[in-house]
Amino acid sequence: MITRMDNLERNMNELKEMKNTIREHREACTSFNSRIDQAEGRISEVKDQLNEIKKETKIREKSTKRNEQSLQEMWDYVKRPNLCLIGVPECDEQNESKLENTLQDIIQGNFPHLARQANTQLQEIQRTPQKYSARRATPRHIIIRFNKVEIKEKILRAAREKGRVTTKGSPSDSQQISRQKHYKPEESEGQYSTFLKKRTFNPEFHIQPN
């Protein structure tokens, strides 16, 4: 009888221990579940942050692209898509329309493959102020501005390859204008200098407007 009571008491103690163990495991599982929920919440927050970063990155990339385009446009403007034609004979009452025709005749006669492109990208054309030497009159220079630098470079490259550019049988020099500010003939009264750099491998020289 005593032995049986001891066995029952032992079994009860074992059951209590098992119950305590189960409770501990249950509490541990609850803690794990809580941690899992917290981890999932953090993962969700991280995903949201990543999405925000991706959106900001796309916006930044678009902004960077726009800035690069703006810088390219500024650089194109700084490079000055201008040409100066020296020695082209001029006639009386030569307006911009006639100058355009003169330019087209020159390009068509010397660089026919560039005629169409030069015509569509022409922005402005005009003569510089008249300058006469003490001994003989000289034609005013023709200043040409294109919408893009590329057409200017193509014409200069073609002029270098051809070596001799003519207008109605007369030779003409094609030069690039490089300045610190936009050229305005009406302002060329000694206020700033114009630098002409020959693209036919001649040294650079300087002209001071009067």
Each residue's pLDDT tens digit, 28-85: 888 888 888 888 888 888 999 999 999 999 999 999 999 988 887 777 666 677 888 8
- pTM of the model as a whole: 0.44
Neighbours of 158 (CB within 10 A): 16
**Tens-digit pLDDT profile for residues 103-152:** 888 888 888 888 877 777 788 888 876 554 546 567 778 888 888 778 88
Using DSSP, state whether 167 is helix, strand or coil.
Answer: strand
Residue tagged 């993962």 (tokens): 43
Given a contact cutoff of 8 angstroms between Cβ atoms, the answer to whether 80 and 150 are in contact is no
